[in-house]
Amino acid sequence: MALRKGARRLSPVKLRLPPPALLAVFYIIFICVGAIFLWLPISHHGNIGLGEALFTSASAVTVTGLVLADTGAAFTGFGQAVIAVLIQLGGLGLMTFAVLLLGALGIPFGMPQRLILREDLNQTSLANLAFLARLILIVALVCEGIGALLLAVVFVPAYGWGGIWQAIFHSVSAFNNAGFALHPDSLSQWVGNPLVNIVIPVLFILGGLGFIVIGDIYQQRKWRRLTLHSKLMLIGTLVLILWGSVVFGALEWTNPGTLGPLGTGEKLWASWFQGVTPRTAGFNTIHTGAMHDSSTMLTMTLMLVGGGSASTAGGIKVTTLFVLILATVAFFRRQTTLHAFGRSIGLEEVVKVMALTTLSMLLVLSGIFIISISHDGQFIDLAFEVTSAFGTVGLSRGATGELDTLGRCVIILMMFVGRVGPLAVGFFLATRSVPRVKYPAGQIYLG
Amino acid sequence: MALRKGARRLSPVKLRLPPPALLAVFYIIFICVGAIFLWLPISHHGNIGLGEALFTSASAVTVTGLVLADTGAAFTGFGQAVIAVLIQLGGLGLMTFAVLLLGALGIPFGMPQRLILREDLNQTSLANLAFLARLILIVALVCEGIGALLLAVVFVPAYGWGGIWQAIFHSVSAFNNAGFALHPDSLSQWVGNPLVNIVIPVLFILGGLGFIVIGDIYQQRKWRRLTLHSKLMLIGTLVLILWGSVVFGALEWTNPGTLGPLGTGEKLWASWFQGVTPRTAGFNTIHTGAMHDSSTMLTMTLMLVGGGSASTAGGIKVTTLFVLILATVAFFRRQTTLHAFGRSIGLEEVVKVMALTTLSMLLVLSGIFIISISHDGQFIDLAFEVTSAFGTVGLSRGATGELDTLGRCVIILMMFVGRVGPLAVGFFLATRSVPRVKYPAGQIYLG
Ligand SMILES: [K+]
Ligand SMILES: [K+]
């Protein structure tokens, strides 16, 4: 009851709409305002209509990174700055909102002591919101600042002082998992550059773990003390990165369109990068369209999984996949309860996971179906593009540029639903029912 | 406990292996013996090696219908008869086994009174098995006999007395959802023939509903009295057929490779036929390979769903899809229990459905992934072929004929797992735990 009271108190005092609807409205406003800014003549060099501006704004606010035009060539410095601001608002706004929401709903998570919004305290307030937003912003700015400084070491010698802006833009884009780059081939020029191959992935992996996990690690330091959610996220991320990198490398090693012409060192760096970028980062260092069908499929499955809850990443989330597999294994071992790291996971979680996964799969399949009706391109390219949009990844095999208005609308809708939807679902997950406590249940976040 | 006792009593007395393993062994023996028969020189006209014989035998026993050679041209009358026997054994053997298993495990289902194998009676015995198998065989032979007589009206005028064999073969193939035809273009010659377009689908829909549903309808006659399982199957089948036929017609109406050149009447017949055949029948009256990507995708989703439990059909089953959707809807409506037709469906069912669906999706995706590594064909064609094999459907866009040995092995494995797997899973579903009775729960069969 205390949990529900918390949720109720939040609603009538500060918000008239239910929080997920409020979030959706905020995002629509962000997107429209962004589109108008990007449409202004000072933002671009003449080739951006309102449709392109809207698409770019939606892609930036949802931190997806699918583009119709080359960001570096089509937009002026002002336009690029608008995009960076939209990315920061979209990425951090959602993260703040998610953490606040989870806290307001009484779900415990690892945070600095002062901020633990326990259900029995009901201490959700505007002061806390401001403090929380500031804290998340500080974490983000520190990460992005360090990232920009390190990237400047690469970009300034290559581009002079303009390289500073490049370093800032790519650092912001990376931490927010936005995938926007200022070069038409993304980061392919630096396919073998160790600094770029370490700084960019570290930024988007940190952003994709989510503030809750970062806060937990910062606060607890020791593995044993981490929450179940943090442990699952870290192990899951590690396994998915290893799987993605090793299999990508094995499948593409001799492909003349991707790894084939590179030296061994570059091949290894590229395999690493292409193995991590599907966790919804969206940068690429090789030509995505030249990938073999098998590695394309691998990338699609990784894009669907995505990163962590309440992070800058998209997808159905690592924890959702984990519960899915755990429940399946437990079922065939005839266990009626799920366990992980000495904590039990309730059957209710399983139902949540199923609802979330079923809905996600239906949305992705519907999107591919609708686009395939009106477009005659390669099926796998269309499927890849829709998956990339739903997972807010931004990797592209080139089909996005060739879509008609209907196709663009589907992609915009997919990006929006892929970004706002899981949190709306997360709201249902958190408020649906009060669990009957029988054992010390480990809370994990789904969606 | 009575339920468990029943399961235990069955095992040690007559079977050493657990029933699913026994079933798998039986199927492997069927397939191998069939392969040897089909390999004999009297079975074919000279172009069938042991590999082709094994593939054909596996396809027949699993009632899939994917072929490497034109059945009518490559095999002699004897060979065709062997295939028909394998189809009958594969289709009915599994149905008998499934019904027996469900009965032995104490799961109530609609059957003639004498055969209700109630858990408190533990009346599983060899006598019952023989009676049940005979009953199912009689139902099958009556359906197939009537079907053959009707089909003879079409085939005898066209092919003389040889048309009688054609009528028998296609009737057996249809009732068992096997999809084997004696013409290289399946039933395309009769695309506008009303008799063929009614008799064949009625046969495979009846076979695909399953003996339990047919028995229930035969016994109860009135809708109100049918079991939850029968109601779900009938409604689900109707909805899927309407959806498939209407959407297929709309998508292909002007496609020059499929419906385009046909008259309006033929277009309507073909839409109906192509809308029902993905419920794992596998016949076709238009060129599958010429279908648009969107209708190919539609067909793939329908093939994955398939028909009814304990039937001659494959797929994850209609009831599984129903629970999947019901649980998702209930979740978003914040209901903690599932209801359908005045009966509740336990949360345990949801976990079962999730395990079954997750495993099926993983298997299909793995199959597509493995085949896509070593084959450079159109991705959608490879995906279609694997889906068709896993759903034991038998529709083909032509890729099966071009597969190398690895690819053929994957397809054989997919057919086998798609046929035997769900029942093995069904065994787990049925024996996993004794439900705590709280309300009159409606039992439905999953897998
Ligand atoms: K992205
Ligand atoms: K079939």
Which of A301, A332, A376 is the closest to B355 by Cβ?
A332
Range scoring the smallest mean pLDDT among A26-40, A85-99, B167-181, B430-444? B430-444
Give the Cα separation of B8 and A50 in Å (integer): 70
Q: Is-contact A324 A313, C-beta < 8 A?
A: no
pLDDT at B124 over 50: no
* Most B CBs within 10 Å, among A329, A333, A359, A372, to test the B interface: A372
Which of B328, B365, B376 is the closest to A301 by Cβ?
B365
Give the Cα separation of B262 and A358 in Å (integer): 38
Query: What was the pLDDT predicted at B425?
Result: 62
Whether B211 is covered by a domain: the verdict is yes
Query: What was the pLDDT predicted at A19?
Result: 63
Here the tokens at position A234 are: 């870290």
Range scoring the smallest mean pLDDT among A7-16, B320-329, B407-416? A7-16
Q: Which one-letter DSSP state was computed for residue B76?
A: -
Instruction: Show Cβ contacts of residue B29 under 8 Å, excluding neighbours closer than 6 positions.
Output: none
Nearest to B274 by CA among B261, B265, B262, B283: B283
Note whether A350 contacts B353, CB cutoff 8 Å: no
- Pick the residue from chain A with its C-alpha nearest to B326: A355
Instruction: Please report residues of A whose CB lies closer than 8 A to that of B435.
Output: none
- Pick the residue from chain A with its C-alpha nearest to B328: A355
- Pick the residue from chain A with its C-alpha nearest to B359: A328
Note whether A332 contacts B353, CB cutoff 8 Å: no
Give the Cα separation of B298 and B285 in Å (integer): 17
Q: Which ligand is closest to the CA of A178, given by its number? A: 1
The rounded Å distance from CA B388 to ligand 2 centre is: 8
Distance from CA of A144 to the nearest CA of B (A): 37
Give the Cα separation of B257 and B287 in Å (integer): 7
* Most B CBs within 10 Å, among A292, A322, A379, A410, to test the B interface: A379
Query: What are the DSSP calls for B306-334, one per residue?
Result: -S-TTSS--SS-HHHHHHHHHHHHHHHTT
pLDDT at B16 over 70: no
Distance from CA of B88 to the nearest CA of A (A): 31
Domain coverage including residue B204: 2-431
Distance from CA of A365 to the nearest CA of B (A): 9
Distance from CA of B74 to the nearest CA of A (A): 34
Here the tokens at position B80 are: 């065709």
Query: What was the pLDDT predicted at A218?
Result: 80
What are the Cα distances from residue A174, in Å, to A313, A392, B202? Answer: 11, 13, 58
What is the tally of structural domains in chain B? 1
Note whether A372 contacts B294, CB cutoff 8 Å: yes
The helix (run of H) or strand (run of E) holding residue B34 is: helix B19-39
Give the Cα separation of A389 and A207 in Å (integer): 18
Which of A297, A379, A432 is the closest to B372 by Cβ?
A297
Which of B325, B327, B336 is the closest to A433 by Cβ?
B336
How far does Cα A447 stand from its chain's mean position? 11
The helix (run of H) or strand (run of E) holding residue A344 is: strand A343-345
**Residue predicted with more confidence, B426 or B180:** B180
Amino acid in the structure at residue A375? H
3-state helix, strand, coil in chain A (%, to 5): 70, 0, 30
**Residue predicted with more confidence, A106 or B335:** B335
Give the Cα separation of B174 and B192 in Å (integer): 18
pLDDT at B239 over 90: yes
Query: What was the pLDDT predicted at A120?
Result: 28
Kindly give the parts of chain A with pLDDT less than 50: 1-15, 107-126, 432-444, 446-447
Whether B114 is covered by a domain: the verdict is yes
Query: What was the pLDDT predicted at B102?
Result: 59
Secondary structure class of B442 (helix, strand, coil): coil
Q: Is-contact A434 A3, C-beta < 8 A?
A: yes
| pLDDT mean over B63-87 | 88
| Angle, helix A405-431 to helix A77-104, in steps of 10 degrees | 30
Size of interface A-B (CB pairs under 8 A): 100
Distance from CA of B432 to the nearest CA of A (A): 6
Whether B94 is covered by a domain: the verdict is yes
Question: Cβ atoms within 10 A of the Cβ of B242, count?
Answer: 11
Query: What was the pLDDT predicted at B12?
Result: 39
Here the tokens at position B179 are: 């999809």
Distance from CA of B329 to the nearest CA of A (A): 8
Note whether A325 contacts B358, CB cutoff 8 Å: yes
Whether A438 is covered by a domain: the verdict is no
Query: What was the pLDDT predicted at A109?
Result: 43
Q: Which ligand is closest to the CA of A418, given by its number? A: 1
Whether B441 is covered by a domain: the verdict is no
Secondary structure class of B287 (helix, strand, coil): coil
Whether B447 is covered by a domain: the verdict is no
**Residue predicted with more confidence, B403 or B1:** B403
Note whether B373 contacts A324, CB cutoff 8 Å: no
Note whether A369 contacts B251, CB cutoff 8 Å: no
Ion ligand 2: residues, CB < 5 A = B 65, 177, 179, 280, 282, 393-394
Note whether A351 contacts B293, CB cutoff 8 Å: no
Nearest to B230 by CA among B214, B244, B242: B214
Instruction: Please report residues of B whose CB lies closer than 8 A to that of A332.
Output: 355, 428
Nearest to B293 by CA among A373, A366, A349: A373
Confidence of residue B227 (pLDDT cuts 50, 70, 90): confident
| pLDDT mean over B142-152 | 92
Whether A91 is covered by a domain: the verdict is yes
Whether A447 is covered by a domain: the verdict is no
